[in-house]
Amino acid sequence: MRKSREFMILAGLWCGPTKPSMNFFLDPLCKAFDELEKGVPLFPEENEDEQIQAFLLGVSCDTPARSAVLNMNQHNGECCCSKCVQSGKNRRTATGGNVRIFPYDERNPTGPKRSHEMMLRNAREALDSKSTHVNGIKGPSVIMFCPRVDCVKSVCIDYMHLVCLGVVRLFLKLCFDVTHSLNDFSLYRYVDIVDQRLESIKLPHFINRQPRSISEHLKFWKAAELRSWLL
């Protein structure tokens, strides 16, 4: 119900040749949350005593927007994860691009954890030291000071890019792409069987799209198809 258009409030819209400065763009919204934390009358004309309060509990945005909203390094920069402070390593891709990789650390696979307090401290340190970033944080962001918001717990991960189009697609490529067919983990020799089974699946009503063949169409699979595969 909360996703239906009827219950959404368009609070801001930016038109311009470049993306907005997030602190400038979000400032009015954060000021509104300051007011809502104190409480505002529900029916100002009738009854001043009946007050409502509202708090920002969750922030949902895609990965590039998340970096801007939290004023932190982009997804290919050092310490770019909003949940931990692993620095990661830069890796050149075959096509000349750069990606950030996080080699698996058996002793501490998901840590050291980031916390909201650490983010505030790092933002202050980055500002004071005039360094480009401290633990990936480039400086303060207005969202850090919204009442009750926790910049680590409240900010969702970008499921579409990171999980569906990221990890799920990578695993499918590793398993079924001809370029890995000589590796022990490859399932390339079974791809026709998997395709046949995909085609014969009777879909439940909440999945709209009949799965397409892995051998011919994997590079065109949409995020929703990758999600259906995962689930």
| Amino acid, res. 86 | Q
- From the list 57-65, 81-89, 173-181, 183-191, the region that binds Zn ion by CB under 5 A is 81-89
Site for Zn ion in 204-223 (CB under 5 A): none
The yes or no reply on residue 226 touching Zn ion (CB under 5 A) is: no
Q: Which is nearer to Zn ion, 83 or 173 (CB)?
A: 83
- Minimum CB–partner distance for residue 79 and Zn ion (Å): 9
CA-CA-CA-CA dihedral for 20, 102, 100, 115, to nearest 10: 20
Query: By CB under 5 A, how many residues form the interface with Zn ion?
Result: 3
- From the list 45-53, 73-81, 127-135, 153-161, the region that binds Zn ion by CB under 5 A is 73-81
The yes or no reply on residue 83 touching Zn ion (CB under 5 A) is: yes
Q: Which is nearer to Zn ion, 82 or 228 (CB)?
A: 82
The yes or no reply on residue 84 touching Zn ion (CB under 5 A) is: yes
The yes or no reply on residue 161 touching Zn ion (CB under 5 A) is: no
The yes or no reply on residue 180 touching Zn ion (CB under 5 A) is: no
Q: Is 44 helix (H, G, I), strand (E, B) or coil?
A: coil
Q: Is 117 helix (H, G, I), strand (E, B) or coil?
A: helix
The yes or no reply on residue 81 touching Zn ion (CB under 5 A) is: yes
Q: Which is nearer to Zn ion, 72 or 84 (CB)?
A: 84
Q: Which of 224, 203, 199, 231 is nearest to 214 (CA)?
A: 199
CA pair distance 37, 40, nearest whole angstrom: 8
Q: Which of 214, 211, 230 is nearest to 165 (CA)?
A: 230
Q: Which is nearer to Zn ion, 24 or 102 (CB)?
A: 102
Write out the DSSP string of 151-179.
Answer: TTTSBPP-IIIIIIIIIIHHHHHHHH-GG
CA pair distance 10, 185, nearest whole angstrom: 48
Q: Which is nearer to Zn ion, 28 or 111 (CB)?
A: 111
Residues that bind Zn ion (CB under 5 A): 81, 83-84
